[in-house]
Amino acid sequence: MNFIRTIKSGLTLTCLLILAIHSSARADVITDFAQQVAKVENTASSRAVYLGRLFNNVDPGPFRRMESMYAIVTIAQATNVALFIGDASAGFEAARAANKVFDSGLRVTTATQDRTEVVFVPGDPNVAPPQDIPIPAGLGIHDSLALNRRLDFWLVGESNSGFTVPSTLGTDPALFFIEFHRTTSVPEPSSLALIAIPAIGSLMRMRRKKKLLAKVEVNS
């Protein structure tokens, strides 16, 4: 009986260990770029510019969420312009109301106010680490990719703000570039607790029973 219990707890611990190793081992980087669409939607609450659609037909695979990212956009006269991502090709405000776009947490600010710049957020990929995406947004963005097999990107500022996003620069296309670091890790504390609590409970129960058995053997 004791032998079976030991095997059971051993199995639980092994599963936990495998899960931990599995989570850290499954990471992926996806990149894509395209010409900026630069379609403007100005409402009383915001001024949103549609950058375009990327990651067409990208397989969601076993991954759970977008963990961190880089964004490189061509923009002028921007201060704290937010990057929203999701399913929103028709219109930004409608998609936001329907909870179909998510704030990536990235903010775009140009270095000067008199040039049309290529801005790296959070910095040059060769130097700066990628910026973490808030967990709910990371899950939402990946779910959107899994559901639609594409992602729409919007730059959003205050209503009537003066930032401009070009689609062309003379005869050249104005590009934007996105790199996601996605992972299979299950960061939600609830999931970890779900696995860890029964395992620890069974271990403690086993130890208590072991002690009781030892006591009984000594007494007898």
Partner 1 sequence: MLSNVFKSFGFALLALQLLMGSSKAGYVFTSTVEQNGTKVDFKKTPQNPAGTGSASKIGLFSFGADADQFDYIRAKIRVWAQLPSEAIGDKAPYIIIAKSGTLDLDLALTVGDAVRLDLRVSYDMFPSSNGVVEKQTELESVTLGQSLAIAAIMAKDPDRKVEAWLASDDFKAITVPASIDTLQIVNGRPTIVTKILTSTLTLEAVPEPSTIALFLVTPWMAHTWKRRRTRPANSKPNIE
Output the 3-class SS for 34-101. Answer: EECCCEEEECCCCEEEEEEEECCCCCCCCCCEEEEEEEEEEEECCCCEEEEEECCCCCHHHHHHCCCE
Is residue 174 within the footprint of partner 1 (CB under 8 A)?
Answer: yes
Is residue 115 within the footprint of partner 1 (CB under 8 A)?
Answer: yes
Q: Which of 16, 58, 93, 177 binds partner 1 (CB under 8 A)?
A: 177
Minimal distance, residue 127 CB to partner 1, in Å:
12
Minimal distance, residue 204 CB to partner 1, in Å:
52
Give the DSSP letter of residue 133: P
Is residue 163 within the footprint of partner 1 (CB under 8 A)?
Answer: yes
Is residue 172 within the footprint of partner 1 (CB under 8 A)?
Answer: yes
* Piece of 18-26, 87-95, 110-118, 183-191 that binds partner 1 (CB under 8 A): 110-118
Count of residues interacting with partner 1 (CB under 8 A):
35
Instruction: Using the minimum distance from each CB to partner 1, give the nearer residue, 89 or 116.
Output: 116
Q: What is the rounded distance in angstroms from the CA atom of residue 12 to the CA atom of residue 49?
A: 51
Contact (Cβ atoms closer than 8 angstroms) between residue 141 and residue 104: yes
